Amino acid sequence: MQARLLLEDGTLFTGKSFGSEGDSVGEVVFNTGITGYQEVLSDPSYCGQIVTMTYPLIGNYGIIRDDFESIRPFIHGFVVREHEDVPSNWRAEYSLGSLLKEYGIIGISGIDTRMLTRRIRHQGVMKGILTTSNKRVEELLEQLKAAPLMTDQVSRVSTKSVFACPGTRERIVLVDFGSKSGILRDLTKRNCDVVIVPQDATADQIRRLAPDGILLSNGPGDPKDVPHAAKMIAELLGEFPIFGICLGHQLFALAGGADTEKLKFGHRGGNHPVKELKSGRCYITSQNHGYTVNEESIAGTDLEVTHINNNDRTIEGLRHKKYPAFSVQYHPEAAPGPFDSSYLFDEFLDMIREHKANHHAAPKQAQIAAAYQSRNAAANVSKGELHYAEK
């Protein structure tokens, strides 16, 4: 069956359909990874986007459930040069096309993905419509113009309830803005007691969980579409150690008084060079984001830049000057990508231990007794006021 991809500037690509059928509108982006298409498909940060793989052969090792980064894919379309529907991998459980059909995702193959990628790099990311229908191009353009891009991706991909992955060491509250499984794997590998909370969890709800530290996950879309999250982070800054990843990094910046802006075509792939300013060392990182922290907006805040992108000099890491809090724009848990930066999870735990050593909490028994005495005192005052009023 024929499939077509139409960009908002009128560029039309015609290829073969694999996966589901119908129409799908989304922001057309590209990923430069050579491997890891399954992790890309299951990364919630791609919610609302039509993803183009620049590597020409996709599907050759099939689909393996153990390699998923979320419970299901959230992408709005998949674009490849050549699609292989018969995988040659002993671990494969089913084919790429079967996965797309299962979740109603349209795939298109047989188009010039190099031309498409160059067009996005020159023009910037664009809205597009992927279709298997026979509609006229003019009709598709009208449909594309009338369809707004999503702004509620975070609420779509976040967990709706609190759940726990018990451990024996530090309790980490993971705020799920579209978290990848890799983050949870890195925390549980370090025996952390992890509690996952929804994206709209309030500061008070998180306090009641008595965390040792808070991790702000990755996620899709514009950080300014989730202002309640930046407000929550601002309330908790200084109270608990905080570590932000990707969208969590951008929200941490907004909470600290900085600003964010959209990149022309974003960073998506597993080979992005990032320089750590303190050591001068360069790390190869996995990235997936379309927004960045505005460099000029850092001035006048208590944030300092710790990492920069060696390709375009955009901000890749921040640290708070007063409070135990830091963030990175890239993915230290990789999946897919290199594990160069997994040490950041250890730095986060070291920061938690240092914070606890320097801020001894009063024994819980003393806190309970103090609260009890405060309630009794308030009750006695109320009784006295009532007795006086009766007189």
- Residue 382 is assigned to a ligand binding site: no
- Residue 124 is assigned to a ligand binding site: no
Task: Write down the catalytic residue from 249, 272, 289, 331.
Answer: 331
Task: Write down the catalytic residue from 27, 170, 316, 333.
Answer: 333
Task: Write down the catalytic residue from 27, 246, 267, 320.
Answer: 246
pLDDT band (50, 70, 90) for residue 369: confident
Residue 384 confidence (pLDDT) above 70: no
Which CB contacts under 8 angstroms, 24+ apart, belong to 332-335? 332/186, 332/245, 332/285, 333/180, 333/182, 333/183, 333/185, 333/186, 333/245, 334/182, 334/270, 334/286, 335/36, 335/39, 335/69, 335/180, 335/181, 335/182, 335/286
- Residue 373 is assigned to a ligand binding site: no
* Entry field: residues in the chain: 391
Instruction: Return the structure tokens found at 244.
Output: 């932000």
Q: Is residue 387 among the annotated active site residues?
A: no
Residue-wise pLDDT for 307-326, tens only, equals 999 999 999 999 999 999 99
Under CATH, what is the fold of the domain 2-150? Glucose Oxidase; domain 1 (3.50.30)
Residue 386 confidence (pLDDT) above 60: no
Residue-wise pLDDT for 201-254, tens only, equals 999 999 999 999 999 999 999 999 999 999 999 999 999 999 999 999 999 999
- Residue 45 is assigned to a ligand binding site: yes
Residue-wise pLDDT for 337-366, tens only, equals 889 999 999 999 999 999 999 887 767 777
Q: Is residue 385 among the annotated active site residues?
A: no
Which of 49 and 375 is assigned the larger pLDDT? Answer: 49
- Residue 247 is assigned to a ligand binding site: yes
Q: How far apart, in whole angstroms, are the C-alpha atoms of residue 96 and residue 63?
A: 6
Q: How far apart, in whole angstroms, are the C-alpha atoms of residue 133 and residue 5?
A: 11
- Residue 358 is assigned to a ligand binding site: no
Give domain 154-358's CATH architecture: 3-Layer(aba) Sandwich (3.40)
Q: Is residue 246 among the annotated active site residues?
A: yes
pTM confidence score: 0.93
Contact 348, 241 (CB under 8 A): yes
Q: What pLDDT is attached to residue 391? A: 47
